Amino acid sequence: MNCRVVVEAAVPVYDVETADEAVRIAISKTGEMLNPDLNYVEINMGERSCPHCGEEHEPAFIAADESLVALELEMTVFNVERDEHAARIARKEIGQRLENIPLEVLEVEQTDTPDDETTEETVETTDTPEMTDESAIEVEQGSEPVETDDVLPEFEELIDK
């Protein structure tokens, strides 16, 4: 099963004057820490609200020209057994790159549909990119495709050296 996981991060930002500036810097800073390894993680502004009255606040809290910005990091985790497994994988992958930044899993949502299993089976039975249409037809009819010797002689030359 595949899951979409949303993780909240509290990113510290220094020497800022406005909440908008803090959010822009936090998104940029987080993007630098995640890229190029986790360039598939989406970075969005987080949502903050008062726990008592429910009033919405900006995602950045500023005091003494320093800010703590709430960001939501979203990624898809593939081939997991259950939601908790997906949450652990997302926290580990993101947490390894965002050192000293607290993370909390906000949401885990399954993205599979029953039709996806049928699609995966179809993909598995199609020909590989190396095969031409003619060799794919030969495989379906039971004969082996003719392999090119482009790779094998180079490999044998390396072994001989």
Per-residue pLDDT tens digits for 45-101: 988 887 888 888 888 999 999 999 999 999 999 999 899 999 999 999 999 999 899
**Which domains occur in the chain, in start order?**
3-110 (3.30.70), 124-160 (no CATH)
Whether 4 shows a pLDDT value over 90: the answer reads: yes
pTM of the shown model: 0.66
Cβ proximity of 37 and 97 under 8 Å: yes
Cα 58 to Cα 22, 26, 31, 67, 104: the distances in Å are 11, 13, 20, 11, 19
Cis peptide before 114 (omega within 30 of 0): no
Residue 108's pLDDT is 94
**Phi/psi at 145 (5° precision):** -70, 155
Looking at the chain, the number of H-run helices and the number of E-run strands are: 5, 7
Interval 129-158: pLDDT, tens: 444 444 344 444 444 444 444 444 555 555
